Chains A and B, each alone.
Chain A
Amino acid sequence: MSITRDEVAHLARLSRLALGEEELDNLAVQLDAIVSAVARVQEVAAEDIPPTTHALPITNVFRPDEVRPSLSSAEALSGAPAAEEERFRVPRILEEED
């Protein structure tokens, strides 16, 4: 298993990281080393082993359908890099997804 620089560039786009050329080069080398090391997990886990996603077997944790106080718009916007008309101001959006 080896990870190419192109793959790292694709992963960087998927994870919205505008990485420089040098960063991509370094990451490709490091990731390749890490992935070859951690690929050990494939040695042990047989098909019939169920995956664990939660350490403790808790189910059905719900809250009642009750309205609780919200933040004020001032609190909501307090950390916003830019705001306008009580809304979060963001750079132009390319296109709706979903």
Chain B
Amino acid sequence: MIHKTAAELGALIAAGETTAVEVARAHLERIEQVEGKVNAFLHVAAESALEQARAVDARRAAGEELGPLAGVPVAHKDVFTTRDMPTTCASKILEGWVPPYDATITTRLREAGLVILGKTNMDEFAMGSSTENSAYGPTSNPWDLSRIPGGSSGGSSAAVAAYEAPLATGTDTGGSIRQPAAVTGLVGMKPTYGGSSRYGVVAFASSLDTPGPFARNVLDAALLHEAFSGHDPRDSTSVREPVPPVVEAARQADVAGLRVGVVKEFAGDGYQQGVLNRFNETVELLESLGAKVVEVSCPAFTYALSSYYLIAPSEASSNLARFDAMRYGLRVGDDGTRSAEEVMALTRAAGFGPEVKRRIILGTYALSSGYYDAYYGKAQQVRTLISRDFEAAFGQVDVLVSPTTPTTAFPIGERADDPMAMYLADLCTIPSNMAGNAAISVPCGLADEDGLPVGLQIMAPVLADDRCYRVGAAVEQALEARWGGPLLGKAPAL
């Protein structure tokens, strides 16, 4: 049961061949069985999951027409507010906080009949690329438990890769969906900025944060994408255009005549050879499927990482100011004599982990008077240059491709003391956050050196999310034919 795809589970439930309750039970059992090794969840909501499943079964029994994912379980990143479960963003400062409201995406999952199994682990406030920055302990990569599952949505990637859930939600600010998907052998999509609602997503960097789906195949990702996307009047940056036809594109799986650009800048120093090998083979594969491949230069992309590490911390320093011990969350040092100001500073020092503090200080610096123009201002100009590079490139090609990450999953602890090395994990994913365009990661094989998954990133213009799915599905179909099944089938049993 747990090895079935979301589309299959939805169809089985719809056909009455199984029930949502049975499906939920199977996944809850799996969670019980492997969580000790994986630590993908911060909160498992077994009771409420079964209740939701029963509700779906009842609606179905009553003859209600339900969506394709009704009754299918989903693991929900702990950055989305949920009124019946804690929302902590893996931070001590929000330990035990149960929000009085649901995120728009939470609401849409419920409306689509998806069964929320629980909340997944992440880097604290989505800051990180390894899920090591969780206040509640790291998550392990199901391919190799000593390695990171990527981040910040590492709990979601691990849960899906470990068959604890067929689907998961994530948020992608600099690569936090695509990078964990790549290093765990999954499909992970960052929709066009504004295509998925940020209302109820605890903000890291507001101008970059984009919720998106994780799945074990392209079609499942498209189904989840479609289920929770669409205009939200509560999010001023939400786009009004209709959701691109992502499910249709995932079924189309055809690249004949499509123009594919290989980003020249994403290769060379710092790229693992095994990653480049798989990437180059996949480009050849695309060509063999009838795509027209050209090399494209996007020089501003090499400045994206620097720009990102000014913009994201700047916005974060402001977004995270509200965690001040006054209205919710942790309060430390309130002994009746200390001032509010002192209690705020003590609480924030005790409640935030090192990476969060580092970024708050960095962002405060970049915005402070005298430095704004040189750092934040320049970073915003670089953002313009990146968008222009994308515009120029999409004038010549339909999609751009690159490796999703320069390396495969690294061992837990390896980069913990070297923030700059950690930041390199997002090298290829950041430009799409800066420009707001759509980008997906799909599995493209195992690296020769370590036998760990490699991801192919496919970038499409703003609101052309369907192209990511179309190309992703074509690659998936061809590679699975070659592999004799999904890449995840090669993962060691847990």
Q: Do chains A and B touch in the complex (CB under 8 A)?
A: yes
A27 & B358 in contact (Cβ 8 Å cutoff) = yes
Closest-by-CB residue of B relative to A12 is B361
- CB A22 to nearest CB in B, in angstroms, measures 11
B327 & A45 in contact (Cβ 8 Å cutoff) = no
Residues on A with C-beta less than 8 A from B349 are 17-20, 23
Is A2 located at the chain interface by the 8 A CB criterion? no
Residues on A with C-beta less than 8 A from B374 are 39, 42
Known interface pairs A11-B365, A15-B364; A91-B420 also in contact (CB < 8 Å): no
- CB A78 to nearest CB in B, in angstroms, measures 6
A51 & B381 in contact (Cβ 8 Å cutoff) = yes
The contact of A78 among B98, B236, B303, by CB within 8 Å, is B98
B364 & A18 in contact (Cβ 8 Å cutoff) = no
Per the bound structure, the CA–CA distance linking A29 and B338 in Å amounts to 31
A38 & B348 in contact (Cβ 8 Å cutoff) = no
Q: Which of A30-80 contact B (CB under 8 A)?
A: 30-31, 33-35, 37-46, 49-56, 58, 61, 63, 71, 75-76, 78-80
Which secondary structure dominates where chain B touches chain A?
helix
Is B317 located at the chain interface by the 8 A CB criterion? yes
B98 & A44 in contact (Cβ 8 Å cutoff) = no
Q: Which of B340-359 contact A (CB under 8 A)?
A: 340-346, 348-349, 352, 354, 357-358
Q: Which one of B214-222, B287-295, B305-313 contacts A?
A: B305-313
- CB A36 to nearest CB in B, in angstroms, measures 10
- CB B83 to nearest CB in A, in angstroms, measures 10
Residues on A with C-beta less than 8 A from B325 are 81
Residues on A with C-beta less than 8 A from B382 are 41, 44-45
The contact of B380 among A18, A20, A31, A53, by CB within 8 Å, is A53
Binary per-residue interface labels of chain B (183-201) against chain A in the complex, 1 for a CB within 8 Å, 0 otherwise: 0000000001110000000
A19 & B310 in contact (Cβ 8 Å cutoff) = no
Most buried by B among A41, A44, A91: A41
Closest-by-CB residue of B relative to A33 is B420
A31 & B361 in contact (Cβ 8 Å cutoff) = yes
Closest-by-CB residue of A relative to B365 is A11
Is B362 located at the chain interface by the 8 A CB criterion? yes
Is B324 located at the chain interface by the 8 A CB criterion? yes
Closest-by-CB residue of B relative to A19 is B349
Known interface pairs A16-B344, A31-B361, A45-B385; A79-B97 also in contact (CB < 8 Å): yes
Closest-by-CB residue of B relative to A71 is B100
Residues on A with C-beta less than 8 A from B342 are 18, 91
A30 & B358 in contact (Cβ 8 Å cutoff) = yes
Per the bound structure, the CA–CA distance linking A34 and B462 in Å amounts to 31
A8 & B331 in contact (Cβ 8 Å cutoff) = no
Per the bound structure, the CA–CA distance linking A61 and B235 in Å amounts to 9
The contact of A11 among B345, B361, B435, by CB within 8 Å, is B361
Known interface pairs A56-B462, A78-B98, A88-B327; A51-B383 also in contact (CB < 8 Å): yes
Residues on A with C-beta less than 8 A from B321 are 15-16
Closest-by-CB residue of A relative to B326 is A90
Known interface pairs A11-B368, A38-B375, A94-B341; A16-B420 also in contact (CB < 8 Å): no
- CB A52 to nearest CB in B, in angstroms, measures 4
Residues on A with C-beta less than 8 A from B340 are 90-94
- CB B99 to nearest CB in A, in angstroms, measures 8
B306 & A38 in contact (Cβ 8 Å cutoff) = yes
B365 & A93 in contact (Cβ 8 Å cutoff) = no
Per the bound structure, the CA–CA distance linking A86 and B383 in Å amounts to 46
Closest-by-CB residue of A relative to B94 is A79
The contact of B310 among A33, A38, A81, by CB within 8 Å, is A38
A93 & B339 in contact (Cβ 8 Å cutoff) = yes
A15 & B317 in contact (Cβ 8 Å cutoff) = yes
Is B277 located at the chain interface by the 8 A CB criterion? no
- CB B415 to nearest CB in A, in angstroms, measures 13
B362 & A31 in contact (Cβ 8 Å cutoff) = yes
Residues on B with C-beta less than 8 A from A49 are 381, 384-385
Is B419 located at the chain interface by the 8 A CB criterion? yes
The contact of B379 among A27, A41, A88, by CB within 8 Å, is A41
A76 & B100 in contact (Cβ 8 Å cutoff) = yes
The contact of A80 among B327, B348, B364, by CB within 8 Å, is B327
Residues on A with C-beta less than 8 A from B46 are none
Residues on B with C-beta less than 8 A from A37 are 306, 309, 420
Q: Can you name 9 A-B pairs with beta carbons within 8 Å?
A: A13-B345, A18-B345, A45-B382, A49-B384, A51-B377, A55-B435, A58-B194, A58-B239, A81-B334
Interface residues of B (CB under 8 A from A): 97-100, 192-194, 207-208, 233, 236-237, 239, 300, 303, 305-307, 309-310, 317, 321, 324-331, 334, 336, 338-346, 348-349, 352, 354, 357-358, 360-362, 364-365, 368, 374-375, 377-385, 387, 419-420, 434-437, 462
Q: What 5 A-B pairs are tightest by C-beta distance, nearest first?
A: A55-B436, A51-B380, A45-B381, A79-B328, A81-B331
Can you name 12 extra interface pairs (CB under 8 A) apart from A14-B368, A17-B360, A92-B340?
Answer: A8-B361, A17-B345, A41-B381, A45-B378, A50-B381, A52-B387, A55-B387, A58-B239, A80-B328, A81-B325, A90-B326, A93-B339
